[in-house]
Amino acid sequence: MTVAAPARFTGRTALLTAAASGIGAATAHRLAAEGASVMVTDVDAEGARRVAEEVRAGGGRARDRRLDVTSPGEWAAAVAEAGSWTGRLDVLHLNAGRNLPAAAHELDDTGWHDQLRLSLDSVFYGVRAAVPLLRTAGGAVVITSSVHAVIGFKGFPAYAAAKGGIDALVRQLAVEYAGQIRFNSVLPGAVVTALWAEAPDEYKAQTAARTPAGRLGVPEDIAAAVAFLASEDAAFVTGQNLLVDGGRSISSQE
């Protein structure tokens, strides 16, 4: 039996960051397919433009703009544009992050601060800029965390600290803005995107074998979870960290 995709975001506006590729792009397509007007943003302006064009080609409503999430000034301008475009902001997907592997004793100050700035400071900047519009709409924020927030891997101290910070921040914000804005995070496991471009096939196969689902994730797996958390289906869900990792985090390491 074919089940029609629900249109949970008709009349709603979503702003997505780091949406020129991977998980962000898949989420833009998913929300647009369910009726949202999507503002596709990325530091890669050309990539954001391409994704917005693809959404429009598929019959969706999209606009694009450059947004470097580490810039509070660019945040203010992007949120203002989203507001003037449709008059509202219902969904914010904060998705930027990068993992530059290095053991703690090999990580210099710049490496540490750059990762925290991109993955965690950016969340604070985005929330601060968007709260007024989200409050008015009774909106929802979904932040892309990582399985690294809950299990240890060698070589990712700054990335794990940033993602763990996101998960704690979500609980704080959910209480702070209770009854006005819902905040949740999604914790992907291994998802095949540009982040995995240079991973050897052998490592990918090993990771899939350690994943109870028996495969690596695809961006659409995460987009589906973001759409759920952003939708009214999750009206009673706030302050949560949802693992979407094919069971990787609950399996033994062997």
Ligand X SMILES: NC(=O)c1ccc[n+]([C@@H]2O[C@H](COP(=O)([O-])OP(=O)(O)OC[C@H]3O[C@@H](n4cnc5c(N)ncnc54)[C@H](O)[C@@H]3O)[C@@H](O)[C@H]2O)c1
Interface with ligand X (CB under 6 A)? 17-18, 20-24, 42-44, 47, 67-70, 95-97, 118, 144, 146, 188, 190-191, 193-196
Tokens 């999604």 correspond to 186
**How near is the Cβ of 119 to ligand X at its closest, in Å?**
6
Give the nearer residue to ligand X in terms of CB position, either 43 or 79. 43
User: Where would I find the beta strands (DSSP E) of 164-234?
Assistant: 182-188
**Residue nearest to ligand X according to CB distances in the complex:** 22
Tokens of 89: 């902001």
Say which residues have a Cβ less than 8 Å from residue 35's Cβ, sequence separation at least 6: 7, 8, 9, 10, 11, 12
Q: Closest Cα partner for 27 from 249, 214, 245, 223?
A: 223
Tokens of 128: 């601060």
Give the nearer residue to ligand X in terms of CB position, either 10 or 206. 206
Give the nearer residue to ligand X in terms of CB position, either 1 or 28. 28
Torsional class of 238: left (φ above 0), alpha (ψ -120 to 50), beta (otherwise) = beta
Q: Closest Cα partner for 30 from 187, 240, 196, 222?
A: 222
* DSSP helix/strand/coil, 68: coil
**How near is the Cβ of 215 to ligand X at its closest, in Å?**
13
**How near is the Cβ of 74 to ligand X at its closest, in Å?**
8
**Bridge partner residues of 184 (DSSP):** 142
What are the catalytic residues?
159
Residue type, 252: S
Q: Closest Cα partner for 242 from 158, 191, 170?
A: 170
**How near is the Cβ of 98 to ligand X at its closest, in Å?**
6
Give the nearer residue to ligand X in terms of CB position, either 122 or 231. 122
Give the nearer residue to ligand X in terms of CB position, either 24 or 60. 24
**How near is the Cβ of 3 to ligand X at its closest, in Å?**
26
DSSP 8-state class, residue 248: G
